[in-house]
């Protein structure tokens, strides 16, 4: 079966392209053209039966991902399925199953079966866990193990996969020569680096990239080329190792597109505010407009407990500069596994960042949404304001709890509501606006 990119290049419009066009309010032919050229990715594994496809890329609404999954400390699947439901209800466009608990296969299959949104995975996590369990250490893992895990996850219906193909011996040499404050904070990047240094071998995901492409082509998995050398603190941002990895990823984008495999490229985590735009533009240039997926970026290192806010600040600028897909950061980042409330807060923060950027990017409907809210505020139409809110549940709770008796004006202004007073003197009642 042909991939979405292969079909787009052949001039065929798929059901997924039609659904994305309808969701975005754009012409179907425009979606087909951009899928064909690679600037839009439709993450839609042929085996994900419950999926409602979304597009990620040029001219589309900035999308938001939520990370969920079991861990060795919290192996129970049930809370992660609750987080999946909460993420979908909160408006996430994708989730990533980062499970490292007792039964990774069961976790992934359950999440994919219940998810109507795209599901991503990081196969090196499972390959590493199983190598430790079955062979006693990470270093005993083989390239065949990595590819077997990738194929298993693809067969199960994973729509996109983070693969750290750019962590090579050359990249690590750059890292060691320059030095870093926080070294490597990517789990996948650290697993592969440890394996490569101990075995004195090249990264199998880089060496056997054509085998990886064959798996992705078979199931139409979108490659999310991971940033294993992403900066984990501001001091390490935009260093030689990060840029070296990005150069390699740009070359791998070319190779994937030549096979008709869809690609996204992942970007940095901790970045000073004044470097964010440059990072986005560099990625877009080197990777020829491939969709860009960023974690945050986080603009300060000193806000544990509030890192959903630090990420939203950076995410707004990144998306306005051209990033297409924001991975949420929750208040629990750097502190522990997020609970269901953390998931919701993280999604909402990233959705606000994404929407603020969409207004600047001219995404269809973004400006109009804000205008409708302004009109509802002028009219003191509380029901419509709540309906238009990015988080109607929270807005309704605040309104009900802090305005006894459903007062016309909010309790912040009470009898001195600016809109009501000015409306009266201009000859406009709130109801007529």
Asked whether the predicted pLDDT for residue 338 surpasses 60, the reply is yes
Question: What is the per-residue pLDDT for 402?
Answer: 80
pLDDT per residue as tens digits for the range 269-317 = 999 999 999 999 999 999 999 999 999 999 999 999 999 999 999 999 9
What are the CA-CA distances from residue 261 to residues 204, 275, 319 (Å)?
19, 31, 24
Question: Residue 164, annotated ligand binder?
Answer: yes
Question: Residue 198, annotated ligand binder?
Answer: no
Question: Residue 270, annotated ligand binder?
Answer: yes
Question: Residue 229, annotated ligand binder?
Answer: yes
For residues 333 and 229, what is the distance between their CA atoms, to the nearest angstrom?
A: 18
Question: Residue 43, annotated ligand binder?
Answer: no
pLDDT band at 179; cut points 50, 70, 90: very high
Looking at every residue in the chain, the average pLDDT score rounds to 94
Contact (CB, 8 A) for 145 and 131: yes
Q: Over pLDDT 90: what percentage of the chain? A: 90
Question: Residue 165, annotated ligand binder?
Answer: no
pLDDT per residue as tens digits for the range 119-173 = 999 999 999 999 999 999 999 999 999 999 999 999 999 999 999 999 999 999 9
CATH, domain 43-361, list 3.40.50.2000, 3.20.20.540, 3.30.230.10, 3.60.20.40: 3.20.20.540
Question: Residue 362, annotated ligand binder?
Answer: no
Question: What is the per-residue pLDDT for 183?
Answer: 94
Highest mean pLDDT among 184-198, 399-413, 418-432: 184-198
Question: What is the per-residue pLDDT for 433?
Answer: 40
Question: What is the per-residue pLDDT for 251?
Answer: 98
Question: What is the per-residue pLDDT for 400?
Answer: 86
What are the CA-CA distances from residue 220 to residues 13, 59, 127, 261 (Å)?
16, 22, 21, 7
Asked whether the predicted pLDDT for residue 430 surpasses 60, the reply is no
In the chain, residues under CATH classification 3.20.20.540 are: 43-361
Q: What residues are paired with 95 via a beta bridge? A: 66, 119
Question: Residue 266, annotated ligand binder?
Answer: yes
What are the CA-CA distances from residue 134 to residues 75, 125, 131, 137, 141 (Å)?
18, 14, 5, 8, 10
Question: Residue 355, annotated ligand binder?
Answer: no
Question: Residue 96, annotated ligand binder?
Answer: yes
Question: Residue 334, annotated ligand binder?
Answer: yes
Question: Residue 368, annotated ligand binder?
Answer: no
Question: Residue 125, annotated ligand binder?
Answer: yes
pLDDT band at 83; cut points 50, 70, 90: very high
Asked whether the predicted pLDDT for residue 347 surpasses 70, the reply is yes
Question: Residue 67, annotated ligand binder?
Answer: yes
Angle between helical axes of 276-286 and 240-258 (0-180°, round to 10)? 30
* Closest to 209 measured CA to CA, from 244, 171, 249, 175: 249
Name the least confident of 91-95, 111-115, 367-371, 407-411: 407-411
Once rounded to an integer, what is the mean pLDDT over residues 368-373? 98
Question: What is the per-residue pLDDT for 414?
Answer: 61
């Amino acid at each position: 079966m042909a991939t979405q990119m292969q079909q787009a290049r052949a001039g065929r419009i798929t059901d997924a392209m039609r659904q994305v066009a309808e969701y975005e309010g754009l012409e179907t032919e425009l979606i087909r053209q951009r899928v064909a050229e690679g600037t839009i990715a439709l993450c839609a594994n042929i085996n994900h039966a419950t999926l409602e496809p979304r597009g990620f890329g040029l001219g589309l609404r900035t999308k938001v991902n939520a990370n969920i999954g079991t861990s060795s400390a919290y192996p129970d699947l049930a809370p992660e399925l609750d987080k999946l439901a909460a993420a979908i209800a909160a408006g996430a466009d994708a989730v990533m199953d980062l499970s490292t608990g007792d039964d990774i296969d069961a976790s992934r299959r359950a999440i994919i079966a219940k998810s109507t949104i795209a599901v991503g995975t990081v196969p090196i996590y499972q390959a590493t866990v199983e190598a430790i369990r079955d062979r006693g250490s990470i270093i005993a893992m083989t390239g065949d193990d990595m590819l077997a895990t990738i194929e298993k996850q693809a067969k199960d219906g994973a729509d996109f996969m983070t693969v750290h193909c750019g962590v090579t011996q050359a990249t690590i040499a750059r890292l060691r020569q320059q030095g870093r404050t926080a070294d490597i904070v990517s789990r996948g990047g650290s697993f592969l680096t440890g394996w490569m240094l101990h075995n004195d071998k090249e990264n199998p995901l880089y060496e056997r990239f054509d085998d990886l492409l064959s798996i992705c082509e078979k199931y139409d998995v979108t490659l999310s080329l991971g940033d294993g050398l992403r900066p984990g603190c501001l001091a390490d941002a935009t260093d030689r190792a990060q840029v070296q990895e990005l150069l390699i990823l740009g070359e791998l984008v070319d190779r994937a597109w030549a096979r008709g495999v869809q690609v996204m490229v992942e970007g940095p985590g901790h970045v000073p505010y004044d470097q964010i735009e440059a990072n986005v533009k560099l990625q877009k240039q080197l990777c020829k407009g491939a969709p860009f997926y960023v974690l945050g970026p986080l603009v300060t290192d000193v806000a544990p407990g509030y890192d959903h806010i630090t990420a939203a600040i950076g995410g707004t600028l990144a998306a306005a500069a051209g990033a297409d897909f924001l991975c949420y950061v929750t208040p629990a980042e750097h502190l522990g596994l997020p609970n269901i409330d953390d998931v919701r807060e993280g999604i909402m923060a990233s959705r606000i960042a994404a929407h603020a950027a969409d207004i600047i990017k001219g995404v269809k409907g973004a400006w109009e949404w804000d205008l409708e809210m302004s009109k509802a505020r002028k009219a003191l139409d509380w029901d419509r304001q709540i309906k238009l809110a990015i988080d109607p549940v929270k807005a309704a709770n605040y309104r009900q709890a802090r305005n006894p008796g459903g007062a016309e004006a909010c309790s912040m202004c009470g009898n001195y509501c600016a809109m009501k007073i000015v409306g009266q003197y201009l000859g406009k009642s709130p109801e007529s606006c």
